[in-house]
């Protein structure tokens, strides 16, 4: 029994224990002393990537998984050490614009999300002690998205990565990399441009609501209207798109919400009214558009639908000559301003060239059926007739391709109303008493 145990010799047992110990010792040795991933593609359990997925930077780790970047980062770790700048969870949860976050998580914007995340990683190990000295200035480092970030130090000891402050230096240290905690998200310029481009395209290419299809009574088939390209002038005349006047009915209720306009007319109208105020001398005109009437809103809606307008704006000196009777009648301010709006886009140069070439030019106005007459006078453009005329006084106060504002030195009235105003009062003849 001493020389063998259940038929196995003691020498065989000793040899088995030796090889078992040798295999355990070999398995205990690190297969990749540098901490880099193995050629098979599997990362070491002590890798900085595993540490990131298990760290308290859960929002960033979740974005890395959604962006399908693990394999790309494994290859990067297999080639060299990396440095990861990890934003705090609060920066991604509460401080990030919801619309921008929705843009990043859309399936069609996966490339932008990958670029954003790789902008936070540089293929080089940079510890907190390797930050540049305040005297030497910022130092550029290339990132994994072929862009660069700047590391700077201030004399107060504050360290930054681009515009983000370093709040947790050397938070996670591993053989193949290091993770630094930063205050906020780093956004490369290419991702911002992509976001703005997608947002603008979404508002421009939105489908406008269409009416019910018409049926041809002869063929009993649907009438297919000719397609209107995006940005083309509207098919509907501007007079039919205008809201009814206050004497007829209130303005129609707005249609379904959403990005359905070609242009942001509301912002453009606000811009030209602000320009009138800053230009000086046109405060009364701006006050009528905003406070006395709802014309600013209606003009913004028309421009949003693709219409263009030219506003002949009387200055304050001309507006001061209006009497109380002219403004107190219901709908009078609207009718006055309607006569000063031309449904065309005209500049001082285009109108002057027209009157020089054709003599007198009649422009349609938003006050149907009245037109305003323009002619050349004293090297400028004169509107109206006789004493009720006005000169183009301040040319091109505002021009943006959709709205043109031309300052004039008088308030215009249609020719029929001008004659009515000048007509002398009729002499009252007393009738003879009946017998």
d(CA 91, CA 112): 18
| Pairwise CA distance, residues 84 & 180, whole Å | 6
Name the phi and psi angles at 82, rounded to 5. Answer: -130, 160
Q: Same CATH topology for 48-198 and 265-408?
A: yes
Q: Within a 10 A sphere around the Cβ of 342, how many other Cβ atoms?
A: 23
- Other Cβ atoms within 10 Å of 313 Cβ, number: 26
Distance linking the first and last C-alpha atoms of the chain: 167
Query: Where in the chain are the domains?
Result: 48-198, 265-408
Q: Name beta bridge partners: 220.
A: none
Cα-based distances in Å from 393 to 219, 282, 315, 369, 384: 58, 12, 9, 26, 14
Quote the pLDDT of residue 102: 87
Contact 329, 385 (CB under 8 A): no
Tokens 């550029």 sit on residue = 140
pTM: 0.45
Tokens of 296: 């600013």
Interhelix angle for 98-105 vs 110-118, to 10°?
110
To the question of domain 48-198 being in CATH 3.80.10.10, the answer is no
Task: Dig out the tokens for 196 from the structure.
Answer: 């703005």
pLDDT of 364: 94
Rounded Cα distance between 177 and 126, Å, is: 9
- For the structural domain made of 265-408, what CATH number should be given? 2.30.180.10
pLDDT block averages, 10 residues each, the chain of length 435: 44 47 41 43 77 91 91 87 92 84 87 94 92 88 92 90 92 93 92 82 54 69 66 74 56 44 78 90 91 88 89 94 84 92 94 93 93 93 90 93 94 75 46 45
User: What is the structure's pLDDT at 204?
Assistant: 53
State the pLDDT at residue 255.
Answer: 44
CB distance 342 to 239 below 8 Å? no
Q: What is the pLDDT of residue 240?
A: 76
> Are the beta carbons of 314 and 392 closer than 8 angstroms?
no
CA atoms within a 13 Å half-sphere pointing along the CA-CB vector of 123: 15
């Amino acid at each position: 029994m001493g020389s063998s145990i259940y038929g196995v010799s003691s020498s065989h047992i000793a040899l088995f224990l030796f090889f078992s110990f040798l295999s355990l010792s070999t398995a205990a040795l690190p297969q990749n002393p540098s901490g880099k991933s193995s050629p098979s593609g599997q990362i070491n359990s002590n890798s900085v990537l595993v540490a990131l997925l298990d760290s308290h930077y859960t929002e960033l780790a979740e974005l890395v998984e959604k962006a399908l970047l693990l394999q790309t980062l494994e290859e990067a770790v297999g080639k060299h050490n990396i440095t990861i700048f990890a934003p705090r969870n609060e920066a991604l949860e509460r401080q990030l614009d919801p619309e921008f976050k929705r843009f990043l998580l859309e399936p069609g914007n996966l490339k932008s999300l990958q670029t954003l995340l790789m902008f936070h990683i540089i293929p080089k190990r940079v510890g907190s002690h390797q930050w540049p000295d305040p005297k030497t200035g910022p130092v550029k480092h290339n990132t994994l998205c072929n862009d660069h970030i700047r590391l700077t130090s201030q004399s107060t000891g504050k360290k930054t990565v681009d515009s983000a402050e370093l709040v947790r230096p050397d938070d996670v240290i591993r053989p193949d990399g290091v993770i630094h905690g930063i205050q906020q998200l780093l956004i490369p310029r290419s991702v911002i441009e992509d976001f703005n481009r997608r947002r603008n395209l979404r508002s421009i290419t939105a489908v406008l609501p269409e009416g019910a299809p018409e049926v041809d009574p002869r063929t009993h088939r649907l009438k297919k209207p000719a397609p209107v390209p995006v940005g083309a002038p509207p098919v509907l005349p501007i007079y039919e798109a205008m809201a009814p006047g206050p004497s007829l009915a209130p303005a129609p209720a707005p249609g379904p919400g959403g990005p359905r306009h070609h242009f942001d007319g509301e912002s453009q109208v606000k811009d030209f009214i602000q320009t009138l105020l800053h230009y000086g001398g046109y405060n009364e005109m701006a006050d009528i558009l905003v406070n006395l009437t709802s014309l600013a809103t209606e003009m913004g809606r028309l421009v949003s639908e693709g219409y263009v307008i030219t506003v002949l704006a009387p200055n304050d000196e001309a507006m001061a000559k209006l009497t109380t009777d002219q403004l107190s009648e219901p709908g009078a301010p609207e009718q006055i301003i309607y006569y000063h709006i031309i449904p065309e886009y005209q500049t001082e140069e285009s109108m002057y060239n027209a009157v020089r070439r054709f003599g007198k030019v009649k422009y349609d106005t938003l006050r149907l059926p009245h037109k305003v007459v323009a002619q050349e006078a004293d090297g400028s453009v004169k509107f109206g007739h006789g004493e009720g005329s006005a000169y183009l006084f301040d040319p091109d106060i505002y021009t943006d391709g959709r709205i043109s504002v031309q300052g004039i030195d008088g308030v215009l009235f249609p020719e029929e109303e001008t004659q009515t105003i000048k007509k002398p009062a009729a002499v009252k003849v007393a009738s003879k008493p009946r017998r």
